[in-house]
Amino acid sequence: MQTYTVTWTDNAQYDLELIIEYIKIESVTIAKETFFAIKDACDHVRYMPTRKRIVPELQHIGMTQYKEVLFKRWRIIVSIKESTIAVLAVLDSSRNVEDILFQRLMKPHQKA
């Protein structure tokens, strides 16, 4: 089985920070639990990442190299290149994901 390394882009780290800051308003405990749960979900992507679902909003325009993991109300968007999985975004599924992804994915990837 191939071994993958999971990295985080600056955008994805910022997404996670915003999520945690928002949750922390109500409960620091739940914010901490959510932080570790999302990080754990991202770490688990390393196991058979190519079997994750293609991002539907991107698939219909032919961009099939991006995968996603659904975790509670968030969509974790990743790209896979050789042995590296880059977490590109952690988005609330109630947002207009198509516009956000298109905007971010048209720019060159930021270093993790």
Two tokens at 30?
Answer: 């739940």
**pLDDT value at residue 51:** 85
Q: What is the pLDDT of residues 14-27, one digit of tens each?
A: 999 999 999 999 99
Residue ranges of domains in the chain, CATH in brackets: 5-105 (3.30.2310.20)
Q: Which residues of the chain have pLDDT under 50?
A: 110-112
DSSP string computed for 32-87: HHHHHHHHHHHHGGGSSGGGSEE-HHHHTTT--SEEEEEETTEEEEEEEETTEEEE
**pLDDT value at residue 112:** 44
**pLDDT value at residue 98:** 73
The whole-model pTM stands at 0.82
